[in-house]
Amino acid sequence: MSIGHFKLRRPHFANGRHREQKTLKLLQLVLCCLMIFVSSGTVGVQAESPNVLLIAVDDLNDWVGCLGGHSQSQTPNIDRLAAWGMLFTNAHCQGTMCNPSRISLLWGRRPSSTGFYSNRYPVSEEPQFLSSHVSLPAHFAASGYKTLTAGKVFHSSALVKKYFQVVGPRPGHWLKGLDKKVHDKPKGWHSTWDFGPQDYDESKFADHVVATWVTEQLGAEHDKPFFLSFGFYRPHVPFFPPRRVYDSFKTVKLPRVDEDDWNDIPDAARKVSMSNPKIPTHDWMRKEGRWKQAVHCYLASVRWTDEQLGRVLDALDNGPHAKNTIVVLFSDHGYHLGEKQRWSKFSLWERTTHVPLIISVPGGSKGKCGKPVELLSIYPTMIELCGLPANQKLEGV
CA distance 49 to 324: 8
CA distance 149 to 160: 8
* Mean pLDDT over each residue of the chain, to the nearest integer: 85
Buried (b) or exposed (e) across 18-40, using 16+ Cβ within 10 A? eeeeeeeeeeeeeeeeeeeeeee
Predicted confidence (pLDDT) at residue 308 exceeds the cutoff of 60: yes
Per the annotation, the verdict on 155 as an active-site residue is yes
Question: What are 267-284's pLDDT values in tens digits?
Answer: 887 777 776 777 888 999
The model's pTM: 0.86
CA distance 168 to 209: 10
Task: Work out the average pLDDT over 309-318.
Answer: 99
Name the more confident of 225 and 132.
225
Least confident of 5-19, 57-71, 247-261, 274-288: 5-19
pLDDT confidence of residue 183: 65
Residues 95, 116 contacting (CB under 8 angstroms): yes
Q: What is the largest CA-CA distance in the chain?
A: 81
Question: What are 244-255's pLDDT values in tens digits?
Answer: 999 999 999 999
Per the annotation, the verdict on 12 as an active-site residue is no
Q: Please give the C-alpha separations between residue 52 and each of 149, 276, 357, 359, 385, in angstroms, as whole numbers.
A: 12, 37, 15, 10, 10
Question: What are 85-97's pLDDT values in tens digits?
Answer: 999 999 999 988 8
Q: How many residues appear in the chain?
A: 397
Read off the pLDDT band of 329 (50, 70, 90). Answer: very high
Residues paired with residue 148 on neighbouring β-strands, in sequence order: 166, 228
Name the more confident of 377 and 44.
377
pLDDT confidence of residue 117: 66
Residues 164, 228 contacting (CB under 8 angstroms): no
Asked, as a colleague might, if the bond just before 362 is cis with ω within 30 of 0, I would say no
Residues 101, 94 contacting (CB under 8 angstroms): yes
CA distance 57 to 151: 10
Read off the pLDDT band of 188 (50, 70, 90). Answer: low
Q: Which helix (H) or strand (E) holds 352?
A: helix 350-353
Q: What is the 3-state secondary structure (H, E, C) of 236-269?
A: CCCECCEHHHHHCCCCCCCCCCCCCCCCCCCHHH
Q: Cα 267–283–244 angle (5° rounding)?
A: 135
CA 140 to chain CA mean position, Å: 18
Residues 209, 175 contacting (CB under 8 angstroms): yes
The DSSP letter of residue 226 is E
CA distance 302 to 58: 10
pLDDT confidence of residue 177: 47
Task: Work out the average pLDDT over 123-127.
Answer: 53
**Portion of the chain with pLDDT greater than 70, in percent:** 80
CA distance 161 to 367: 36
Name the active-site residue from 66, 93, 98, 386. 98
CA distance 2 to 6: 5
Query: Can you name the CATH fold of 2-10+50-119+129-385?
Result: Alkaline Phosphatase, subunit A (3.40.720)
Amino acid at 254: L
* 65 exposure class (CB count in 10 Å sphere: 0-12, 13-18, 19+): buried
Least confident of 125-129, 158-162, 355-359, 380-384: 125-129
Name the active-site residue from 139, 155, 208, 354. 155
Read off the pLDDT band of 136 (50, 70, 90). Answer: very high
Question: What are 18-63's pLDDT values in tens digits?
Answer: 433 333 333 333 333 333 233 334 445 655 799 999 999 999 999 9
Task: Work out the average pLDDT over 318-325.
Answer: 98
**Portion of the chain with pLDDT greater than 90, in percent:** 62
